[in-house]
Amino acid sequence: MATFFQSVRQGFGRGSNKNNNPPKMNNGAPNQSYSPNSPMNSLSVSSSTSLDTAPPETDTIKYFFQEKYAPLNVKGNFLTLCACPKNVELGEWLAHQIVEQNRLLHGMLQVIQELNTLTGFPICNEQTCPTMSAGRLTYTWLVDGKAAKISAPKFINRVEKWIVSKIHDPVMFPTDPPTVAPLTHGVSEVNATGLPPTASPTAVVPSSPQDWIGKSSGFPQTFYKDCQGIMKQMFRCYAHLYHAHWENPFWHINKHEVLNMCFVHFVTVAKYYKLVADKEMEPMQPLIDIYIKQEKIPPEALAGHWAQQQASTNSSS
């Protein structure tokens, strides 16, 4: 288990975009607000929704929602990276996936946290990003039980610290094996697509209230819910990266393809294990639809474990 928590930082050097006239975009004014529970004040990550009054957004083209701006810097089926191997307990695999997604997201966030040598400020700062926005949406933070708008750099900093605290919490993400740790799920054989064997879908939907994902490996009963909470906050960071920083810096330094790769990998994991609700993904749905059409987010990921279990049950009955 300990090997799942050996994160390796990746560097992202500056590149040069051959297009001397990068597209311009208008992020628009937010008119809706989501409020995650503050990781600084509570272990819960449920969210409430509130509406802000704002003038209607003047819709303009968002270039990252166009197919010609959606290439990846890698090729392959991301399901091979997210499907649980047959000899790994699902709880441990989900823990590994959380750590890996945090590593990739951290690399993308480092890009916008780099200091501008001319201004002395990071690219994402209090002036450029006074709120944690994603197009029409503004994510708010619970402060003393009340939704509050805070700047994007503060929001992202708190999310990153909270995720790290979860990963290093020996109760939430145990690294010592339990006394008895039998596998609690079956395995499937190599399927028709040629993908590697995956954990049985029954592990995603525990058979009884007394059973839960990761129980045999020592994970607490709230583990899967916490994974959902962590992934939801990660998605909000990605939404901000695209809506506020796709052009500056990712397009300008020719790293938009790397951002796309990390995002597709993230969404594939989120869809496959039902870790982020579809409604939460709405700020990025046009781009997700492009990758679904291209099958870079494979159909198996869209089906999710629960649907696969139902299909398997029906075919065997």
pTM summary value: 0.74
Phi and psi based region of residue 120 (left: phi greater than 0; alpha: psi -120 to 50; beta: remaining): left
Q: Distance between CA atoms of 240 and 250, rounded to whole angstroms?
A: 12
Per-residue model confidence (pLDDT) at position 148:
93
129 annotated to bind ligand? yes
| Count of Cβ atoms closer than 10 Å to residue 295 Cβ | 12
pLDDT per residue over 15-63, tens digit each? 444 444 555 443 333 333 433 443 333 333 333 333 333 333 444 568 9
Tell the residue number behind the tokens 């990781």, with chain if given: 39
Domains of the chain: 31-53+63-68+94-169+221-316 (1.20.140.30)
Closest CA to 108 of 11, 24, 25: 11
245 annotated to bind ligand? yes
Q: Distance between CA atoms of 100 and 20, rounded to whole angstroms?
A: 34
Q: What's the half-sphere exposure (Cβ side, CA atoms, 13 Å) at 83?
A: 27
106 annotated to bind ligand? no
Q: Distance between CA atoms of 57 and 28, rounded to whole angstroms?
A: 5
Residues of the chain below pLDDT 50: 1-20, 24-59, 180-203, 205, 207, 309-310, 313, 317
Q: What's the half-sphere exposure (Cβ side, CA atoms, 13 Å) at 261?
A: 15
pLDDT per residue over 123-167, tens digit each? 999 999 999 999 989 999 988 889 999 999 999 999 999 999 999
